[in-house]
């Protein structure tokens, strides 16, 4: 284990926007991992458990994407796209990690972004980790609807009723949403402060509403029809796919990615939902460390 880790933070300017980042730098760096948060529209805060990997000699770079967390707003909403976000990731990598190849980790929408980035820039990567990520919004929506059907009747009927009318603030709808989240987003009570902070950022900023929609399972935004399932076979770098047993982005979604990326590894994390880095922090970190170690060992 590394004897000392230095935490740095600051802003990096990409495409004219100041993006906030946190950087965990061990005294001896075995490898670098850039981490992409989800939402789209949350913040990097809920991914802070990934900093545990710095204790094993891995540099961990986390940042708030455009219009997220402490980063600047992108005023041109026509740029609220995967294409723009991919170039932002590349801008962050070039400025913060200009030397050598890195690992890319993405959670949820961040996992989708990691896949999209890899289709264009996998030559910059040693490997990729997709945690609760997706390659198809449509399949994810279909699977989330299946999970809604399996909720208690009071919750599923409230979601169906108020989804149909677009009344996303009705108390019954919000109660049912919390029921879904407690089963499939994070199975912890109380919810960790860092997770709550990321969710609060998503509610306050515009990105989540414009790109995703009113909540996790009602995807009405610009990413609703996004699908790169037929392209991801082009990804040839080592890839780890993790998914929680009760994940809102289900094992079916993960399996579709796994079977198309040749040589990829898929791990189902027991008793976890979407935020397994909190629900089984030790097990999740160990899973990532084993994968990264194996990739670095093979590269020697």
Q: 51, 247, 273, 276: which one is catalytic?
A: 247
Cα angle 208-209-212, degrees, rounded to a multiple of 5: 65
Residue 152, helix vs strand vs coil: coil
* Contact call for residues 106 and 47 (beta carbons, < 8 A): no
Give the C-alpha separation, 55 to 5, whole Å: 7
Catalytic site residue 108? yes
* Contact call for residues 202 and 39 (beta carbons, < 8 A): yes
Q: 43, 51, 71, 108: which one is catalytic?
A: 108
What is the number of residues in the chain?
Answer: 300
Catalytic site residue 9? no
Strand partners, 106: 36, 130
Strand partners, 269: 244
Q: 45, 64, 274, 276: which one is catalytic?
A: 274
Catalytic site residue 123? no
Q: Return the closest-CA partner of residue 75 out of 200, 221, 207.
A: 207
Q: Return the closest-CA partner of residue 242 out of 231, 251, 232, 234.
A: 251
The set of catalytic residues is 108, 247, 274
């Amino acid at each position: 284990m590394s004897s000392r880790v230095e935490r740095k933070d600051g802003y990096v300017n990409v495409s004219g926007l100041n993006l906030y980042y946190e950087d965990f730098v061990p005294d001896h760096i075995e490898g670098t991992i850039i981490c992409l948060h989800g939402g789209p529209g949350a913040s990097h805060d809920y991914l802070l458990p990934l900093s545990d990997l710095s204790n094993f000699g891995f540099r961990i770079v986390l940042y708030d994407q455009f219009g997220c967390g402490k980063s600047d707003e992108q005023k041109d909403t026509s740029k609220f796209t995967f294409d723009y976000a991919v170039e932002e990731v590349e801008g962050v990598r070039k400025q913060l990690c200009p030397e050598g190849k890195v690992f890319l980790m993405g959670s949820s929408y961040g996992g989708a972004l990691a896949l999209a980035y890899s289709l264009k820039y996998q030559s910059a990567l040693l490997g990729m980790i997709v945690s609760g990520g997706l390659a198809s919004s449509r399949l994810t929506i279909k699977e989330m609807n299946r999970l809604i059907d399996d909720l208690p009747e009071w919750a599923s009927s409230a979601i169906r009723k108020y989804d149909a009318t677009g009344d996303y603030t009705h108390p019954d709808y919000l109660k049912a949403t919390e029921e879904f989240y407690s089963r499939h987003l994070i199975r912890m009570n109380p919810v960790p402060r860092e997770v709550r902070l990321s969710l609060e950022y998503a509610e306050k900023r515009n990105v989540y509403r414009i790109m995703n929609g009113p909540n996790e399972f009602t995807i009405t935004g610009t990413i609703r029809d996004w699908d790169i399932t037929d392209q991801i076979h082009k990804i040839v770098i080592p890839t780890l796919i993790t998914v929680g047993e009760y994940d809102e982005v289900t094992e079916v979604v993960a399996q579709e990615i796994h079977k198309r990326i040749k040589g990829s590894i898929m791990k189902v994390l027991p008793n976890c939902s979407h935020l397994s880095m909190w629900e089984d922090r030790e097990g999740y970190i160990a899973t990532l460390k084993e994968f990264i170690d194996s990739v670095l060992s093979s590269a020697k």
